Amino acid sequence: MKGMASINKIGNGHYEVQEYFTAKELADKLQLNVMTIYRWIDSGKLKAYKPFKEFRIDKTEFDRFMNSTRTK
């Protein structure tokens, strides 16, 4: 899965790359309906932000979510 990235300046000439996914990209990756991703966001299970029209889910947040929902 490709995802997107943004580059943020954090000071003193240093930058960080932040990878994120759209709800549609995650739905495709997990082979789920995109409404399932929206429900996770609405319920607070998956943290996301919406800078414009689409939700963005940080890759680190997605990894945290997947690790917390694993079956034992």
Does the pTM surpass 0.85? The reply is no
Query: Angle, nearest 10°, between helix axes 23-30 and 34-43?
Result: 120
Of 8, 31, 6, 34, nearest to 20 by C-alpha is 6
Burial class (CB in 10 A: 0-12, 13-18, 19+), 26: buried
Q: Structure tokens of 43?
A: 């319920």
Those residues whose C-beta lies under 8 Å from the C-beta of residue 14, and which sit 6 or more positions away, are: none
> Along the chain (72 residues), what's the average pLDDT of each consecutive run of 10 residues?
56 69 94 97 94 90 88 64
Q: In which element (H, E) is residue 20 found?
A: strand 14-21
Question: What's the pLDDT score for residue 72?
Answer: 61
Q: Which two three-digit tokens encode residue 61?
A: 């947040």
